[in-house]
Amino acid sequence: MLSAQQELIRKELENGTGAAIGMRVDPTGTRTRLSIWFSDLDERHGPVAELRPVGLKGYQVTLGFGTFAGDVVRQIRAASDEDVRLAQALLGSIPSSIELDLGGQDVTSWRVETGQTKVIATARRLPQEPEAALTAMCKDAIVPMMAAMAELIGYDVIEAEDEAEGEFEGAILLSTVRRRERNPRNRLLCIRLHGEKCACCGFEPRQAYGAAGGIIEVHHLEALSLLSAPRPYNPATDLVPLCPNCHRAVHTRRPAPYSLEEIRRLLGLGDAREVNG
């Protein structure tokens, strides 16, 4: 089953992490295993997730590090506090129905300490249909685990248009905000926490467009350019999902974007509780 579903797994992981994924099936032993890693680091020089069946309808994924991953571990240990918080939040978004073993650490303070650090997620009560079970394991466990690693390593999606966006004072700060909005891990976490309903107008693209509806976007509530002093970044509360129309409308005003409340008033809508209730 793992061999036949490699492309499904690859698509889920690449969408969630923003990084190219490599994988290898190991048919030795009593049950087939699948090793998963970031392509540009290869299986020996970075984090590796090993997926294997457990019981009659369960899976377990063990995330560790390759034999020669010392440089990547040092890079991860030097990650910014913001990146660490996002990685912790991604691990914390794994459903409680999945048994999560962080090697004695608590998810709110979890860090990669050494190359021996491991994260193990075990799901035993998955859907009976094999493909549905594997899809659920990918979405609920493997994607957030690998996304957390991608955040700590520093895989970022920065589009070319950001670099050329306006030659004016403050452009670097605005570019940083746009980087956060487009970070695939931010999007993943925001949707896991808040769903895919627009926080402004209440529109749910996936309900309207079906398979073509995965167009919800992620908005950073407070632009960095407006902060009088640095403050901790909380990915659970600083991000909201917006439909493309509302997101574009918010950013039509610069340097200070419209607030969600201002956009709701322009739309003739009530407060957030009425829109999202």
Spatial distance between the Cα atoms of 201 and 264, rounded to a whole number of angstroms:
7
CA–CA distances in Å: residue 3 to residues 15, 52, 61, 130, 182 = 20, 11, 16, 13, 32
Q: What is the chain's mean pLDDT, rounded?
A: 85
- Tell me the range of 135-139, 223-227, 228-232, 243-247 where mean pLDDT is highest: 243-247
For the segment 13-28, the average pLDDT, to the nearest whole number, is 88
pLDDT digits (tens, 9 = 90+) for 251-268: 999 888 999 999 999 999
pLDDT digits (tens, 9 = 90+) for 2-12: 777 889 899 98
Residue 64, phi then psi, degrees to nearest 5: -140, -155
Confidence bin at 227 (pLDDT 50/70/90): low
pLDDT digits (tens, 9 = 90+) for 64-120: 999 999 999 999 999 988 889 889 999 999 999 999 999 999 999 999 999 999 999
**Predicted local distance difference test score (pLDDT) of residue 272:** 55
- pTM (global) more than 0.75: yes
**Predicted local distance difference test score (pLDDT) of residue 223:** 72
Question: 117 and 70 in contact (C-beta within 8 Å)?
Answer: no
Strand 58-65's sheet: what is its strand order?
Answer: 21-26, 33-38, 47-54, 58-65, 119-123, 99-101
Burial (CB count within 10 angstroms: exposed 0-12, middle 13-18, buried 19+), residue 48: buried
pLDDT at 224 over 70: no
For the segment 139-165, the average pLDDT, to the nearest whole number, is 76
pLDDT at 1 over 70: no
**Predicted local distance difference test score (pLDDT) of residue 165:** 45
Question: 219 and 250 in contact (C-beta within 8 Å)?
Answer: yes
**Predicted local distance difference test score (pLDDT) of residue 273:** 52
Spatial distance between the Cα atoms of 142 and 158, rounded to a whole number of angstroms:
24
